Amino acid sequence: MSSVFSISDLARELGVTPRTIRYYEEQGLILPERAGSQRIYSMRDRARLILILRGKRLGFSLQDIGEYLALYDADPAHQTQVLTLVGKVRARIADLEDQLETVRITLAELREIETMAVAALGCDVSDPDGA
């Protein structure tokens, strides 16, 4: 694996568009070197981009991700970073558990409505298209 990457190399490898990578650069989350007008991304930039994409996939905001990355740079022992991560992960888990409970309640209500509607019709409506 190369130690430097072009924007198209990273985009292809990570399954994102070059525009996505430029956006994260605009947000200050990655800071590639420049060779004239071309961006040159290091292994560090690649690793940060992987963390950004993972954080987004897990539902973290760019602000949360930026704080996490800033702590990585500021704390060589990474203890502050890990403690912050634990707190944010726990908060995200709690949010997702709340959402899951809301979905469970909504599904139960919809099933109840469906059962009452089918009973009111007094016929088999197993085919939703009515065929």
* Residue among 22, 52, 23 nearest 34 (CA): 22
Q: What is the DSSP code (8-state) at residue 129? A: T
Give CA 16 to chain center in angstroms: 13
Average pLDDT, the chain: 90
Neighbours of 8 (CB within 10 A): 12
pTM, whole model, 2 decimals?
0.73
Q: What is the pLDDT of residue 1?
A: 67
β-bridge mates for residue 34, sequence order: 39
Report pLDDT digits (tens) over 21-57: 999 999 999 999 988 888 899 999 999 999 999 999 9
Check: CB of residue 52 under 8 Å from CB of residue 29.
yes
Q: What is the pLDDT of residue 112?
A: 97
Pairing relationship of beta strands 4-5 and 33-35 according to DSSP bridges: unpaired
Check: CB of residue 39 under 8 Å from CB of residue 7.
yes
Q: What is the DSSP code (8-state) at residue 122? A: T
Lookup result for tokens 């690793």? 47
The confidence band for 128, taking pLDDT boundaries of 50, 70 and 90, is: low
